[in-house]
Structure 1
Amino acid sequence: MERAERIACRKAVKLHVFMPSNRRIWTVVGNRHEYWIRPPDYCTCKDYYFRARAVAIEERGEGKASCYHLKAVEIAEVREMVDEVHFNDDEYDGFIRALIDMMYKQVTKDNDC
């Protein structure tokens, strides 16, 4: 919980709002990477992936996987510490492309020998 609180306190939980459609994308800026979040049940970090896999295998999907990034979102919302950033809908496609590109680079960099 301590890591999640630090993330929330440093305003690293971002809510990207695209107007006028009101489309919303959550991200959390971690120490090494930025993660795409879908509260309350999905994060692109490795910790979430391995916990989700473990829950699916051990409990046949009946449990709830989580990570400290998702917990940081919960804390930031309760404490009203979410950094809300507004964009125009025209910027949505470019934002998504940049986010996917960033995630791809994170994965390929982490897998370098």
Structure 2
Amino acid sequence: MSKDLLLNLISLVKEKSKIDDEILNYLNSIFSENADRILETIRRGITKYHIDDRIIWTAMGENSEHIIYPKMYCSCQDFYLNVVIDRKRDFCKHILAQIICDILNNYNEERLSHDEFRIMLNDEINNFINPKS
């Protein structure tokens, strides 16, 4: 998916202010998986963490929480394998879900201490090294 397609998604979600059939059809056309997987990610939950002046986004995956740098990076295995290594696509479902949830203000918000963030980050590193089936 090119940057233009991502910008089109952002414009479309802003215009509609909800997920409707047009957005679902657009997601199906630009994402090699399908829109249902993005919707499932949204249902599982997107969280915006505040650590002092920093903001960290996460998406709940099937087995663990994935750290997201909006529009750029996700810590999930799919991003690593299909975006970075195989270059099959430009984004994973978690990044697309985060973008949609941010525009629609459909996310959880939490504050974390530095120690809580360190624990969360260590858990994510362990999940990446030893993914759960």
Q: What band does the TM-score fall into relative to the shorter chain? A: 0.7 to 0.9
Counting only pairs closer than 5 Å after superposition, residues 1-113 of structure 1 correspond to structure 2 as 1-10=35-44, 12-19=45-52, 22-50=53-81, 51-55=83-87, 65-87=90-112, 91-92=113-114, 94-110=115-131
Q: Do the aligned residues in 2 keep the contact of 1:15 with 1:84 (CA within 8 Å)?
A: yes
Runs of 4 or more, structure 1, over 3 Å off, are none
Map Cα deviations across residues 77-113 of structure 1 (whole Å, 9 max, x no partner).
12211111124xxx12x133212221232134338xx
Q: Do the aligned residues in 1 keep the contact of 2:77 with 2:128 (CA within 8 Å)?
A: no
Higher relative contact order (CA 8 A, sep 6+): 1
Counterpart residue identity of residue 23, structure 1:
R
CA distance in structure 2 between the aligned counterparts of 1:36 and 1:105, rounded to whole angstroms: 13
What runs of 5+ residues in structure 2 fail to find an aligned partner?
1-34
Which residue does the alignment assign to 1:61? none
What runs of 5+ residues in structure 1 fail to find an aligned partner?
59-63
Secondary structure of 1:31's aligned partner? coil
Counterpart residue identity of residue 50, structure 2:
V
Q: Do the aligned residues in 2 keep the contact of 1:15 with 1:26 (CA within 8 Å)?
A: yes
Q: Do the aligned residues in 1 keep the contact of 2:76 with 2:128 (CA within 8 Å)?
A: no
- Name the Cα RMSD after superposition: 2.3
Higher helix share: 2
CA distance in structure 2 between the aligned counterparts of 1:32 and 1:14, rounded to whole angstroms: 15
CA distance in structure 1 between the aligned counterparts of 2:85 and 2:125, rounded to whole angstroms: 20
